Structure 1
Amino acid sequence: MFQNIVRFLAIFFFGFVSSSTFSPARPPSIPLAVRSPYLNTWLAVGGDEATGGHLAERWPRFYTGSINGWVGMIRVDGETYSWMGQPGPDPVTQVSVEYTSTKSVFTMNVNDMVEMRISFLSPIAPDDMKRQSLVFSYLEVEVAAADGSTHDVQLYADISAEWISGDLSALANWDYGAVDDVVYHKIFRQTELKYSESGDKADWGNWYWATGAADGVSYQSGEDNVVRGLFATSGFLESSADDNFRAINAQWPVFAFSHDLGAVGTHSQSVLYSIGLAQTDAIQFNGAGDVRPLKSLWTEYFGNELEALHFFHHDYSTASSMAASLDSKIEEDSISAAGENYMIITTLSTRQSFAATQLVGSLGQPYLFLKEISSNGNTQTVDVIFPAHPIFLYTNPYLLKLLLIPHFENQEAGKYPHDWAIHDLGTHYPNATGHPEGDDEHMPLEECGNMLIMMLAYAQKSGDWDFLADHYEMLVQWAEFLVDESLIPEHQLSTDDFAGKMANQTNLAVKGMIGLEAMSVIASATGHLEDADDYSAIAHDYIDQWLTLGIAHDESPPHTTLGYGLNDTYGLLYNIYEDAALGLDLVPDWVYDMQSSFYPFVEARYGVALDTRHDWTKGRYPTRILKPRLTGMPLARSDWEIFVAAVSSLETRNMLIGDIAKWINETTTDHPLTDLYDSKLGGYPGIMFTARPVMGAAFALLTMEGKAPVLQRQRASAA
């Protein structure tokens, strides 16, 4: 009661809750189990200031916002408290929340008697295909006396059948078992629908909720109120299984474990849980040959899913150590590159970016498939891989190769009728069945430029020039398209497709020119010297004309335009990032300097809007070209802002990165991290554009191998 009064007074007088601190920032949503497109569970922070970010007072949710029932309770000296999930007894007091690239840690106080440390670890192992292939996540709960006394403690945790499908009327089945010293609940749809989703949740595969077998461990499945109520009143479970298989929303079946920890003193005791999804067949792919199923890559390492579960649960020590090393590397590299604000962004983006991917195939030919989460669900979207690719270059360039290979298999097999690069490999994940009729969303110049740029970026980082040589003919096909189209772009979409089609896009044109210069380097490195000279000559000729067509020289201050001749417009010139990152030196230095000086003039509270189309109040563009929910917002794209920051002066870089970090700390929205938001007010358009892998762009500064600091020193001096 006293805690509720304190919370009310804090909100009334100060507008926020001070009982829990957040480090390194207070994000809009905290990643809990965020490991794949289907294991993707978060805790909302924004929205309700009274409960935001409090693990014991909000339901964990799938990235779409649907509830993933996940409840934790603790019983101390006969009194029961909630530590996770909205319903139940009085909540424990949340003291702090800390997130790293792979872990979210909650520190709790139980009535000044017991302290809890609750850690959600979604391990990322970029260099270890065996570990990275497993779609599992850890939850560890550590308990110790906080008052120097000894307390009788029991711990409880469950998940609901809501994890297995977004169709709450779907019939759920379940089982309880053990593999050696690991006990588990197995939950699945009674009728699987392979390669199908409901509400973006998978309709096939087996979910596992597991813990270690030990004295004092009991289990139970059954109706939520019954199972949870039994523990709340007694501190134990019956070690029994409900055999009434039923719909997910019929008396809400839950699957619980209870641990009797006995007398707990100042020496902490811990309980480890594992949660994850096992799918044998993960993707259907239209590559070379007929459409075929691709198995999850973990099936190459383990004889069955129970072996995989057992390995994962016992791998916690190693997984934690590897994750801690990655956390430290990202934190240290980020702070060294651009300071604390930059680290706030990279660490929050890491799990989200990797969680859009799934390793599949065989050891002989693995693939990394990616879902365009929340914006439309496409499979292997090129202009989503493109902004995401810096995180893969930073952690392991081989992963970028695994993302690109399916595109070459599909198009080199003649399964796409157009000359340009395909937009995606399937209208909806996990169906990578291609577009043999050519009916994908057409972004011809965008995707050709993206593919050429990413191929060169991969080869530069990995030294694997043979991969480029193997696909040289297809690369030439895309380059020839750029020769024809990049100087004067036709009426078409760019990656910012929500803004509609437009002709003569300045930023899109320069991507094509950079793509041609990238092709020149590719041609030279693969022994095609005549091609190299030709493509470079064309690129330089085009950029010379672009310097007149795309720049408002007479404006004050001068800047590049949204489109040729539209001198009272602007757009983020994010595509020149690749000119610097690849070391092409196609774009003159003065263009970088000019843009860097311009952005502060159009800065809003939370950054620089993507372009002038998005602020309809200026009256330059009809709102019909925008999706209705986006009109009226001066929209910022945080992924592209970081691309721009990477090639700006130190002052402008710090401004842009600081604005994004400020938005993360202040936004009232409560969905997972977005790449599209209102640069003035801080809101963003619903669930669209959240949890997307494009935030891998946050690593743009870390993939430039010292080029960015040099550029920034030069431009800071010039300014």
Structure 2
Amino acid sequence: MSLIISMFLLLRLSLLLLFAALAVSQTGPSLWTIAPFNPPAYSLALRSPYLNTWNAQGNGPAPLTNVWPNLWPASRPILGWYASVVVDGQGYRIMGAANIPNVTEANQTAVEFTPTRTSLLFSAGPMQINATFLNPIEPTDLVRQSLPFSYFYLSATSTDGNAHTLRMYSDISGEFMAGDTSQIAQWTPVDSGQYVVLSMQLQTQQAFTENDNHAQDATEYYTFKKIAGTTTSWGITQDVVNRGLASNLSKPLSNTADPTPRPVQDNWPTLGIMIDWPGSITETPEPAVWAIGLVRNPSIQYRLTDGTFQKRSPYFLTAFSDVQSAAQFFLDDFSNALASANAFDAKLQAAGSALSSDYADLLTLSVGQVLSSLDITIANGTDVSGPIAGMFSQSPDLQSSVNTVDVLYAAFPMFLYLNPELGGYLLAPLLEYQDSAAYTQTYAARNIGTAYPNATADHITDAHDFQVEETANMLIMVLAYSQASGNGTFISNHYTLLSDWAEFLGNTTLTPTNQKSADVAVTGDLSNNNQTNTALKGIIGIAAMAKMAEVAGVIGDQKRFNDTATSYIQQWASNAVAADNSHIDFFYGDTNSNGLMYNVFADKLLQLDLVPESVYQVLTVYYNNIAAQNRFGLPLDNQDTSVATSHSMMFAASTVTNPTTQSFMVTQLHNYVSANLNNTAFTAAYNPTTGFGVDVSVAGVNSPAVGSMFSLLALNASVKSINVPGRSTVPGSAAANPSPSHTGAIAGGVVAGVVGVVAIGVGIFFWIRRRRNARLHHENDYGTYSDPKDMARSYSGGKPMGLAPGTAFEPFRYSSTNTGSGYTPSSDLYSPGLESGITQTHVRSTSEVQDLAGLTSVAAQAGYVAAPVPERDSGYFRTRRRGESGSDLGPSASQVGGASEVMIAKQSLVNEELRSEVDNLRRDLERIREEQGRAVLDEAPPSYSDPV
């Protein structure tokens, strides 16, 4: 036995030494500088799920002059993107590993990346070449943001003070649109005199189909706007032919296209465009600008609630009649796009740097990755009334899924900060389909489709084990969107669905059974019974519903859900916080378990003030004590210390009360992305000890979950007053049962008095009658009691005296039949309700707009006016059939607290009806007073409408 132990320790020590050696040996580039740090990969063209082009970095990376770009991840087939210059007759390769005669590698000297740009400097003989990849970020301009084009531009400056001849060339192959390069491609050239627009697509396309992460229904574009005084030529032909002509300063390209379609890999047809600068120059007077695009129309297949399929087009077609005109606009808009990108970079840099430079770096690395996962769509080319967005994501069990709820939840802070309506467009299809007769589960679905770009709700009604996780996620996100935008239309249109979900959480969340957490299941199939972090998210979900009920005017629901959340959080804290306050147990009753309680982030984000401040203090001390154990962060839990996720780390860091601890945790994340250990896009799941990304069926690679990096900024964003259009149509709202209209102040007072007296009289009448019936009913079922208190005193052994033999009380759960808005469960004798509300407002930080490229910003952007933000039909509302009760698993006395607490507080069934009548009467009187005193509020037009 001792030998086995010794061998185990030796093996463990060897592994640690190996990891340490690997960590020490990891170095960034040695031949050029890179700022602000060396990332796992930097972006080239990053505009959509399929125009997603990267250059890998990591340990000892090669220069761009000697590699081919990749579609993520780096293990995928290469993308044929090539660029070269000819200076004084000598060719220099800028991008791509093609071996062309008379062309040598330029010397890469520097790389710099920002949220919107990656710029590289090269030495090409006596000239310095600046090659920049620009990916505009326009989160509030849906037309520009949805344009699936990216800029690539070159400029040159003499380094010896002399004038030189200069030619610039670039091309792309068919590998951007063909996962299988044996498929036949066809192409089309358009030379309009001012613009060159070259395109290529598969001869036989397959709609809404992927092959090795390539869309099989895409058309790739390479375009160029001619510059006055220069000579532009183009060709669609074999790669070596185009590139060979480009290397010879005396010959232009052919301005022709090969006549016959052929497979992509057959002599590699390329879309090549070249510019010759006139005479000899010391610098280019303006950059030469190419635009690369990958267009799919339709881009998403969406199943409507009636079962029919809708083919949705990219949003930019609301402003352009065809792709040709859109491509020309994109080229014309270059100076505006660059100025806007510089302003965006400066603003985000200032906001992040106000917290720390490490935090600013994380924002820089993540924002483009998240936005490029979106397709913003419309029902047809002109309808702007119902935009929805599809978000591409991957997970171990859901390949290429659409709007995966837990991934959307992780990304949501970025949408809240940049433009909450983007979050609304992503939530819309999830809510729309589940709020229909087609959806049969009582909890939220995991996604709206399991194979991107098919938002077809396939398998959406299948049972799954992430019920608490996804249901709470949806409630939290709906409230977060509503608070950030001020738009309560989701609450109005889907109130019944949302309240049903909160009912489900009331039955299941306090002690989760057979439930999974999306993060804990990253590398396995762990069913986390009694996981406190999952329970916490569900409790916060109930509290979020209480807030939504409040703004909707459903006072009964507001109190009921608030009381439940308050009771549950007290029981949670009593059973989850370790006795010595050293940590939070990751599993109820297991004091040796611990981990990240990152779900408290939602309490902070929504400003619910539900979680006791003492819990935040315990977590802060705990994180502070263990953070230094790993260089790259904290594991999700101590059951498996090999897995951390970037979003759990950032959520946890956002909630600590000590700024030093928070800064240290942010730096750990920065250590992970800057350690030169990985060579693919920002991977959300990783090993906090070794720093290597976790690759489980490419889960978390290039994931939009890294939008969580915006958590600290989202917490500082302002919370708006929520306008709920059609408030009077919300079931159970006070506005849905208004008091009679009044014709004047005096008459109004008289009528109000009469109404009050009548209401009191009617209430007393029904109260007496119901009390008598209740007494007779109780005597018949349980025996005779002279005082209702006798029933409460009669509990013994889990049941009151007088019950039939073998009868036992079940744990408390909401009634499946008494779920209307007027139903109020028994009050918790030990947890009085607390009114939740907004206690403080934060304002985002801003910075002066800077033009880093030296270009003049253009206020009036000719040729295009942004479409107005669509209004939502405030009168639209569809009721939903009340779903049957889901799982009837609830917290038992043995699971949570003592038996007497649960029995007394939750099982006073005999008194329930009497209390309900009194409460109903009280609420009726309150409603009458509220209607008399409520001021008429002007409702601002909403900015989002559900899809038709």
Relative to the length of structure 1, the TM-score reads: 0.91
Which of 586, 608, 620 is the matching residue for 1:596?
A: 620
2:207 to 194, 211, 219: 194
Which of the numbers 134, 140, 146 marks the counterpart of 1:121? 134
Quote the residue 2:707 is aligned against: 696
Q: Does 1:26 align with 2:26?
A: no
What's the CA shift for 1:548?
Answer: 2.7
Cα 1:441–1:295 change in 2 (3 A) is farther
Choose from 236, 252, 260 the match for 2:268.
Answer: 252
Q: Verify the 8 A CA contact 1:416 1:435 in the aligned structure 2.
A: no
* Match 2:633 to one of 576, 598, 607: 607
What is the one-letter code of the residue matched to 2:275? H
RMSD: 2.1
> Does the CA-based 8 Å contact 2:26-2:677 persist in structure 1?
no
Cα distance change on mapping 1:475 and 1:135 into 2, 3 Å: same
On the 8 A contact 1:284/1:293 being kept in 2, the answer is yes
Which structure has the larger Rg over C-alpha atoms? 2
* In 2, Cα distance between equivalents of 1:636 and 1:542: 28
Structure 2 residue corresponding to 1:226, chosen from 241, 247, 250: 241
Cα distance in 2 between the residues matched to 1:50 and 1:457: 41
Of 51, 61, 69, which residue of structure 2 is paired with 1:60? 69
In structure 1, the residue matched to 2:371 is 354
SS in 1 for 2:104: coil
Are 1:99 and 2:113 matched, yes or no?
Answer: yes
Secondary structure of residue in 1 paired with 2:667: helix
For residue 391 of structure 1, what is the aligned residue in structure 2?
Answer: 414
Deviation at 1:562, TM superposition (A): 2.3
Q: Which residue of 2 aligns with 1:78?
A: 89
Which residue among 599, 614, 617 is the counterpart of 1:575? 599
Number of residue pairs the alignment of both structures matches: 675
Aligned residue number for residue 363 of structure 1:
384
Contact 2:224-2:289 within 8 A present in 1 as well: yes
Residue 562 and residue 463 in structure 1: after superposition, are their counterparts in 2 closer, same or farther (change >3 A)? Answer: same
Q: Distance in 1 between matches of 2:145 and 2:482?
A: 23
CA contact (8 A) 1:408 1:471 kept: yes
Q: By how many angstroms is 1:355 displaced?
A: 0.5
Aligned match for 2:346, one of 313, 323, 328: 328
Say which SS state the counterpart of residue 41 (structure 1) adopts. Answer: strand
Q: What SS is found at the alignment partner of 1:187?
A: strand
> What SS class does the counterpart of residue 105 from structure 2 fall into?
coil
Q: TM-score, normalized by length of structure 2?
A: 0.69
- Distance in 1 (alpha carbons) for counterparts of 2:652 and 2:217: 41
Percent of paired sites with the same residue? 31
- Looking at structure 2, the residues matched to 527 and 437 of structure 1 have their Cα atoms a distance apart, in angstroms, of 31
Q: Verify the 8 A CA contact 2:446 2:460 in the aligned structure 1.
A: no
SS of the equivalent of 1:503 reads: coil
Does 1:134 find its partner at 2:147? Answer: yes
Identify the range of structure 1 (119-128 vs 89-98) with the bigger mean alpha-carbon deviation: 89-98
Q: Structure 1 pair 482/282, CA: closer, same or farther in 2 (3 Å)?
A: same
Q: Deviations over 1:75-112 (max 9, x none)?
A: 1111111111122333212222111111111122223x
Q: Is the 8 A contact 2:54 2:72 kept in 1?
A: yes
* Cα distance in 2 for residues equivalent to 1:612 and 1:222: 58
2:511 is aligned to 488
Residue type of the alignment partner of 2:338: S
Deviates more, 1:205-214 or 1:577-586: 205-214
- 1: CA distance, partners of 2:687 / 2:425: 34
- CA displacement at 1:438 relative to structure 2: 1.9
2:403 is equivalent to residue 380 of structure 1: yes
Moved more, 429-438 or 169-178: 429-438
Residue 690 of structure 1 aligns with an amino acid whose one-letter code is V
Contact 1:427 1:440 in 2 (8 A): no
For structure 1, which segment, 345-354 or 493-502, has the greater mean C-alpha deviation from structure 2 after superposition?
A: 493-502
Structure 1 residues 460 and 16, CA gap change in structure 2 (3 angstroms): closer
Shifted more, 642-651 versus 437-446: the winner is 437-446
Deviation at 1:15, TM superposition (A): 5.2
Q: CA deviation at 1:269?
A: 4.1
**What is the alpha-carbon distance in structure 2 between the residues aligned to residue 600 and residue 86 of structure 1?**
48
Q: Could you say which residue in structure 2 is the equivalent of 1:239?
A: 255
550, 567, 575: which is aligned to 1:524? 550
What is the deviation of 1:643? 1.0
Distance 2:176 2:477 in 1: 36
In structure 1, the gaps of 5 or more residues are: 1-11, 616-633, 713-719
Q: What does residue 578 of structure 2 align with?
A: 552
Does the 8 A contact of 2:484 with 2:718 survive in 1? Answer: no
Residues 572 and 644 in structure 1, CA contact (< 8 A), matched pair in contact too: yes
SS of residue in 2 equivalent to 1:613: coil
Could you tell me how far apart the structure 2 residues matched to 1:483 and 1:178 are? 64
- Separation of aligned partners in 2, 1:15 and 1:429: 37
Task: Trace 1:144-159 onto structure 2 (pairs within 5 A).
Answer: 144-159=157-172
2:841 & 2:507 partners in 1: Cα distance? 32
What are structure 2's unaligned runs of at least 5 residues?
Answer: 1-23, 720-839, 843-948
**Structure 1: how far apart are the matches of 2:217 and 2:313?**
13
Q: Distance in 1 between matches of 2:261 and 2:464?
A: 42
Deviation, 1:264, is: 2.2
In the TM superposition, what is the alpha-carbon distance from 1:205 to its structure 2 partner? 2.6
Q: Distance in 1 between matches of 2:594 and 2:191?
A: 61
The structural deviation recorded for 1:417 is 1.7
Give runs of ≥4 in structure 1 deviating > 6 Å. Answer: none
Match of 1:471 in 2: 494
CA shift, 1:267, in A, is 5.4
Q: Within the alignment, does 1:46 sit opposite 2:58 as a pair?
A: yes
When residues 334 and 605 of structure 1 are mapped into structure 2, their CA distance, relative to the original with a 3 A threshold, is same
SS in 1 for 2:58: coil
Q: Call closer, same or farther: CA 1:159–1:542 in 2, change over 3 Å.
A: same
Alpha-carbon distance in structure 1 between the residues aligned to 2:165 and 2:409: 54
CA distance 1:246–1:455, change in 2 (3 Å): same
**Residue of structure 2 aligned with 1:318, choices 313, 317, 336:** 336
2:644 paired residue number: 636
Q: In the alignment, what sits opposite 2:18?
A: none
1:209 to 214, 222, 229: 222
8 Å Cα contact 2:197/2:324 also seen in 1: no
The residue number in structure 1 matching 2:655 is 647
CA–CA distance in structure 2, aligned partners of residues 532 and 145 of structure 1:
70
Q: Shift of residue 179 of structure 1?
A: 4.2
- Asked if structure 2 preserves the Cα contact closer than 8 Å seen for 1:37 and 1:371, the reply is yes
Distance 1:689 1:594 in 2: 30
Which residue identity is paired with 1:39?
L
Helix, strand or coil for the counterpart of 1:560? Answer: coil
8 Å contact from structure 1 (residues 417, 436) kept in 2: no
Contact persistence 2:26–2:675 (CA under 8 A): no
Aligned amino acid, residue 401 of structure 1: G
CA-to-aligned-CA distance 1:231-289 (integer Å, 9 cap, x gap): 22456422221223211222222111111123220455420010112222111111233
Between 1:54-63 and 1:15-24, the stretch displaced more is: 15-24
Equivalent of residue 429 in structure 1, options 431, 444, 452 = 452
Letter in 1 for 2:55: L
Deviation string, structure 1 residues 314-372 (Cα, Å, up to 9, x no partner): 11111122222221111111111x21000000011010000110110130111111111
Asked whether the 8 Å contact 2:209–2:215 carries over to 1, the reply is yes
Change over 3 Å in CA distance of 1:396–1:16 after alignment to 2: closer
Q: Distance in 1 between matches of 2:592 and 2:718?
A: 32
Deviation string 1:196-223 (CA, Å, 9 cap, x unpaired) is 1111111013211001134411112222
Letter in 2 for 1:130: V
Indicate if the aligned counterparts of 1:23 and 1:97 stay in contact, CA closer than 8 A.
yes
- Out of 577, 588, 605, the residue aligned to residue 564 of structure 1 is 588
Asked whether the equivalents of residues 684 and 706 of structure 2 are also in contact (C-alpha less than 8 Å), the reply is yes
**2-structure distance, mates of 1:16, 1:430:** 36
2:854 equivalent in structure 1: none
Q: Answer yes or no: is 1:282 the counterpart of 2:282.
A: no
